[in-house]
């Protein structure tokens, strides 16, 4: 072998020893040091299984085994004093000499672990016989392993301190980590298994809802739980520990009357001894933790205190995580409730603002607590700008409560009140409000706030007035029906005699002819008024026939000729030529044109008035347009001109029935009337009759009549 090769070999050997020294120096317990050393040596010699037997300082102590990758048969032999393997290990311990390999039992070798003249432990290797180089490697690495054992054994207080530090580190990491409860349990139990050098650890937790049921988790040599099952607690050492709340140290498990392998043991692990500690926090026992098959049953005050501290830490972690989980659930429920309340609030706010009536809430000092959009818009503001202000200041521009306000009465008695408030928009327009107040009570049933509901009842009052007028109309109809015969008879005599008289008068006497003509026209007009009144009061029969639409217009104009002459009003007739004949009631259409032209005459100024009457047929419709250059109708009144008894004329100048009758007549013909009016410019009435009213052989009126 060259010098270079020899130097490289020596460096490799030193590197192996240094690596092992670093592993052993980093261990905080003797158990951890032996586990690290065993794994390192087996890896170097290429073997998977082995064990280290460490004896207690006194000669009578029972051997403690630390193993890796051994079959169950070997594990049983190592714990059986009568087995050949146990005897071979015992002989190597006492003779301090290695034992040769045994191919029959898969023994690769037995090696004493000694420092100076004292033996500390025995190493056995499982598998095929080791080659010479591997044997030398094992023997070379046994010295640092022996020194580590000696260091831990000769510095027991320091070892205890190391256990304390290890336990504190485990507890601190568990408390400060973001791990879930399952990982925290696994973390602490691994620490308990390592510190107390057990072969397995079991965690038994009581079910939250049924304390006769437990959840059991086991940790053997794996990095994760061996199993997690729900079991009935029954009679067991774990049950006794939970019931008494005291630690349990049991030596001979196999013969103990309370030992229940399903609860207290681990599957496929021969039971030897058991160390149990209850998990208690805040006066409540959550379960128990147990260490199986410790190297020694001896347990001092220090070890019991350390186990209790770690058990309390585990119990606190479980309890804390459970509280955190409950808090998360409560927060989730609270958040869901918050969203539900927010959604309900938004729904109620939308409903509150969507109500067309004005609603607002005030307190005992008349301060606005809430107000809906409708009332805020009436005040020319937004709801959030009004809340917190005095209602009489912001809503009514007053310095004190409104006259007639009944809020104080509602606050005093708790009763619902109602009053009416009338507001004039201008000299002719009145808005009437019905204001109701409702009390809001506190938990002592005392009124603390008031809801005010303001409803615009102007239209309601108008409809009520119309109803009264309708009742009057019914009375007028009854009266008209009773006296119509008496009135029509004299009118017929007047009209007939006027016609006879005009026939007998000389044609050249124009003045007399005109006077008699005026008598006849006056009688006809009076007769028409009676017919209009009767037609409005009851259903009137329409005599539909094929007529010339322009004839009805010229007849109406001729009847009103004297009005144009006497008031010097200009009339323009623009009648369409060759209009198709229309199927309609001649007298009724003539009455419509008379009413519309009379309204135009009344709207124009004497001497300057100009009225245009236009007729045409286009797009399968008849259109008659009567326009004037009069004073026009205000926009706020246009929508009401067809209402019965509504008139824009001065008192004594009209009954308010004319346009209502016209509208009803045109509607009976299946048509409609449009109005265009501009104040100071004039008004235009457009009467539209459908093409369905053209010539027909049917004697029945069209649909809609």
Would you place residue 695 in the very low, low, confident or very high pLDDT band (cuts 50, 70, 90)?
A: very low
| Among 263-267, 292-296, 479-483, the range of highest mean pLDDT | 263-267
User: Among candidates 324, 306, 307, 317, which has minimal Cα distance to 282?
Assistant: 317
Distance (Å, whole) CA 631 – CA 648: 11
> Is residue 383 a contact partner of residue 376, using CB atoms and an 8 Å limit?
yes
- Where does residue 613 fall: left (phi above 0), alpha (psi -120 to 50 degrees), or beta otherwise? beta
Strands 544-547 and 582-585: antiparallel
pLDDT of 174 reads: 56
- Where does residue 445 fall: left (phi above 0), alpha (psi -120 to 50 degrees), or beta otherwise? left
Mind spelling out the 3-state secondary structure of 292-304? ECCCCCCCCHHHH
> Is residue 92 a contact partner of residue 14, using CB atoms and an 8 Å limit?
no
| Ordered DSSP codes for 371-400 | E-HHHHHHTTS-HHHHTTSBHHHHTT--SS
Which tokens is 697 given?
Answer: 């052989």
With a pLDDT cut of 90, the percent of the chain lying above it is 10
Distance (Å, whole) CA 676 – CA 688: 14
pLDDT of 5 reads: 55
Would you place residue 281 in the very low, low, confident or very high pLDDT band (cuts 50, 70, 90)?
A: confident
Mean pLDDT, rounded, for 264-293: 85
Task: Out of 243-252, 565-574, 647-656, pick the least confident.
Answer: 647-656
Distance (Å, whole) CA 42 – CA 467: 112
pLDDT of 535 reads: 58
pLDDT of 446 reads: 92
pLDDT of 450 reads: 93
Mean pLDDT, rounded, for 653-666: 71
Mean pLDDT, rounded, for 402-425: 88
Mean pLDDT, rounded, for 675-693: 85
Task: Out of 282-296, 353-367, 537-551, pick the least confident.
Answer: 537-551
| Chain mean position to CA 601 | 66
CA angle in degrees (0–180, nearest 5) for 638-643-646: 80
| Among 28-32, 80-84, 317-321, 446-450, the range of highest mean pLDDT | 446-450
Strands 610-618 and 570-575: parallel
Beta bridge partners of residue 449, listed in sequence order: 363, 440
Q: Is the pLDDT of residue 61 over 60?
A: no
pLDDT of 7 reads: 57
pLDDT of 448 reads: 92
Q: Which residues contact 105 (CB under 8 A, 6 or more apart)?
A: 84, 85
Domains of the chain (ranges, CATH numbers): 16-154 (3.30.450.40), 173-325 (3.30.450.40), 359-455 (3.30.450.20), 467-693 (3.30.565.10)
User: Among candidates 314, 15, 343, which has minimal Cα distance to 173?
Assistant: 314
With a pLDDT cut of 70, the percent of the chain lying above it is 82
> Is residue 692 a contact partner of residue 701, using CB atoms and an 8 Å limit?
no
Distance (Å, whole) CA 296 – CA 303: 12
pLDDT of 136 reads: 86
> Is residue 50 a contact partner of residue 70, using CB atoms and an 8 Å limit?
yes
Q: Can you tell me which residue has the tokens 């001729």? A: 558
Mean pLDDT, rounded, for 412-439: 84
| Of 365 and 56, the one with more pLDDT | 365
Helix axes 510-537, 586-603, angle to 10 degrees: 110
| Of 195 and 612, the one with more pLDDT | 612
> Is residue 70 a contact partner of residue 51, using CB atoms and an 8 Å limit?
yes
User: Among candidates 435, 433, 440, 539, which has minimal Cα distance to 481?
Assistant: 539
Distance (Å, whole) CA 477 – CA 641: 21
Would you place residue 25 in the very low, low, confident or very high pLDDT band (cuts 50, 70, 90)?
A: confident
Helix (H) or strand (E) holding 660: helix 658-668
| Ordered DSSP codes for 552-603 | HHHHHHHHTHHHHHHHT-EEEEEEPTTPPPEEEEHHHHHHHHHHHHHHHHHH
> Is residue 358 a contact partner of residue 375, using CB atoms and an 8 Å limit?
yes
> Is residue 579 a contact partner of residue 618, using CB atoms and an 8 Å limit?
no
C-alpha distances in Å from residue 3, one per residue of 7, 8, 17, 137, 398: 6, 9, 21, 20, 115
CA angle in degrees (0–180, nearest 5) for 401-404-406: 80
Strands (E), 130-269: 200-206, 213-219, 227-232, 248-250
Distance (Å, whole) CA 578 – CA 544: 21
- Express each pLDDT in 560-603 by its tens digit: 887 888 888 888 999 988 889 998 888 888 888 988 888 888 88
Task: Out of 143-157, 275-289, 408-422, 682-696, pick the least confident.
Answer: 143-157
pLDDT of 697 reads: 35
Q: Is the pLDDT of residue 245 over 70?
A: yes
Would you place residue 440 in the very low, low, confident or very high pLDDT band (cuts 50, 70, 90)?
A: very high
- Express each pLDDT in 126-155 by its tens digit: 988 888 888 888 888 888 888 887 777 655
> Is residue 171 a contact partner of residue 307, using CB atoms and an 8 Å limit?
no
| Mean pLDDT across the chain | 80
Helix axes 586-603, 658-668, angle to 10 degrees: 140
Q: Is the pLDDT of residue 624 over 90?
A: yes
Beta bridge partners of residue 428, listed in sequence order: none
pLDDT of 612 reads: 92
pLDDT of 533 reads: 60
- Total number of residues shown for the chain: 705
Q: Which residues contact 312 (CB under 8 A, 6 or more apart)?
A: 279, 280, 281
Mean pLDDT, rounded, for 272-301: 80
> Is residue 365 a contact partner of residue 392, using CB atoms and an 8 Å limit?
no
Q: 361-381 burial by CB neighbour count: b if 16+ within 10 A, else e?
A: bbeeebebbebbbbbbeebee
Which tokens is 343 given?
Answer: 């959604």
Say what the pTM is.
Answer: 0.38
Mean pLDDT, rounded, for 643-647: 62
Q: Is 365 in a helix, a strand, or coil?
A: coil
Helix (H) or strand (E) holding 261: helix 261-264
Distance (Å, whole) CA 255 – CA 234: 18
Strands (E), 402-521: 417-424, 430-441, 447-456
Q: What are phi and psi of 690, to 5 degrees?
A: -75, 160
Q: Is the pLDDT of residue 439 over 90?
A: yes
> Is residue 49 a contact partner of residue 74, using CB atoms and an 8 Å limit?
yes
Distance (Å, whole) CA 126 – CA 600: 127
Distance (Å, whole) CA 289 – CA 126: 33
Mean pLDDT, rounded, for 508-516: 82
Q: Is the pLDDT of residue 451 over 90?
A: yes
pLDDT of 558 reads: 82
pLDDT of 57 reads: 38
pLDDT of 116 reads: 63
Distance (Å, whole) CA 292 – CA 201: 6
pLDDT of 391 reads: 92
Which tokens is 207 given?
Answer: 């079910």
C-alpha distances in Å from residue 397, one per residue of 324, 402, 432, 433, 455: 56, 10, 18, 17, 20
Q: Is 213 in a helix, a strand, or coil?
A: strand
Q: Is 606 in a helix, a strand, or coil?
A: coil
Q: Read off the DSSP letter of residue 657.
A: -
pLDDT of 179 reads: 65
């Amino acid at each position: 072998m060259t010098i270079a090769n020899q130097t490289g070999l020596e460096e490799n050997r030193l590197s192996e020893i240094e690596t092992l020294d670093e592993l052993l120096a980093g261990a905080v317990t003797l158990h951890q040091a032996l586990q690290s050393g065993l794994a390192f040596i087996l890896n170097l010699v290429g073997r998977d299984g082995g064990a280290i037997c460490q004896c207690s300082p006194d000669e009578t102590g029972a051997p403690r085994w630390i193993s890796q990758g051994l079959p169950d048969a070997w594990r049983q032999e190592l714990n059986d004093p009568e087995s050949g393997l146990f005897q071979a290990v015992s002989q190597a311990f006492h003779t301090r000499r290695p034992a040769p390999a045994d191919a029959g039992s898969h023994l690769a070798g037995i090696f004493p672990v000694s420092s100076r003249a004292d033996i500390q432990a025995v190493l056995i290797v499982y598998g095929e016989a080791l080659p010479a180089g591997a044997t030398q490697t094992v023997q070379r690495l046994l010295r640092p392993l022996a020194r580590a054992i000696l260091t831990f054994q000769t510095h027991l207080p320091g070892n205890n301190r190391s256990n304390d530090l290890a336990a504190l580190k485990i507890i601190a990491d568990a408390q400060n980590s973001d791990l879930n409860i399952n990982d925290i349990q696994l973390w602490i139990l691994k620490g308990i298994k390592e510190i107390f050098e057990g072969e397995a650890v079991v965690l038994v937790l009581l079910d939250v809802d049924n304390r006769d049921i437990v959840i059991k988790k086991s940790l053997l040599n794996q990095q994760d739980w061996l199993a997690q099952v729900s079991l009935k607690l029954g009679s067991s050492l774990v049950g006794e520990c939970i019931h008494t709340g005291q630690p349990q140290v049991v030596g001979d498990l196999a013969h103990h009357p309370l030992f229940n392998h399903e609860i207290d043991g681990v599957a496929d692990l021969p039971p030897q001894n058991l160390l149990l500690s209850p998990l208690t926090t805040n006066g409540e026992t959550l379960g128990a933790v147990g260490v199986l098959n410790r190297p020694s049953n001896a347990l001092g005050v220090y070890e019991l205190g350390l186990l209790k501290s770690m058990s309390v830490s585990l119990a606190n972690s479980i309890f804390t995580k459970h509280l955190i989980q409950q808090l998360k659930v409560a927060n989730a429920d609270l958040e869901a409730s918050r969203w539900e309340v927010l959604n309900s609030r938004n729904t109620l706010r939308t409903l509150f603002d969507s109500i067309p009536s004005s609603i607002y809430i005030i307190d005992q000092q008349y301060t606005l607590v809430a107000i809906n959009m409708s009332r805020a818009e009436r005040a020319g503001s937004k709801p959030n700008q009004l809340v917190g202000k005095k209602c009489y200041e912001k809503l009514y521009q007053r310095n004190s409560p409104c006259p007639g306000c009944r809020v104080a009465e509602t606050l005093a008695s708790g009763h619902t009140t109602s009053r009416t408030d009338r507001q004039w928009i201008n000299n002719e327009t009145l808005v009437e409000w019905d204001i109701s107040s409702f009390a809001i009570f506190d938990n002592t049933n005392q009124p603390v706030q008031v809801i005010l509901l303001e409803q615009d009842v102007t239209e309601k009052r108008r409809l009520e007035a119309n109803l009264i007028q309708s009742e009057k109309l019914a009375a007028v109809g009854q009266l008209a029906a009773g006296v119509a015969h008496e009135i029509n008879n004299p009118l017929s005599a007047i009209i007939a005699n006027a016609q006879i008289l005009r026939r007998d008068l000389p044609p050249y006497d124009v003045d007399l002819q005109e006077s008699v003509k005026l008598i006849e026209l006056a009688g006809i007009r009076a007769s028409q008024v009676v017919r209009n009144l009767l037609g409005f009061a009851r259903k009137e029969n329409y005599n539909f026939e094929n007529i010339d639409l322009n004839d009805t217009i010229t007849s109406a104009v001729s009847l009103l000729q004297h009005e144009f002459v006497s008031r010097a009003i200009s009339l323009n007739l623009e009648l369409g030529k060759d209009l198709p004949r229309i199927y309609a009631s001649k007298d009724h259409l003539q009455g419509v044109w008379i009413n519309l032209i009379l309204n135009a005459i009344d709207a124009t100024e004497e001497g300057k008035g100009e009225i245009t009457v236009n007729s045409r047929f286009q797009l399968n419709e008849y259109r008659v347009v009567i326009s004037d250059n009069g004073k026009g109708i205000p926009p706020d009144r246009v929508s009401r001109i067809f209402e019965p008894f509504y008139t824009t004329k001065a008192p004594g100048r009209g009954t308010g029935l004319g346009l209502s009758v016209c509208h009803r007549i045109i509607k009976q013909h299946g048509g409609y009337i449009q109005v265009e009016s501009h104040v100071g410019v004039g008004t235009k009435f457009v009467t539209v009759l459908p093409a369905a009213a053209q010539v027909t052989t049917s004697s029945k009126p069209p649909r809609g009549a």
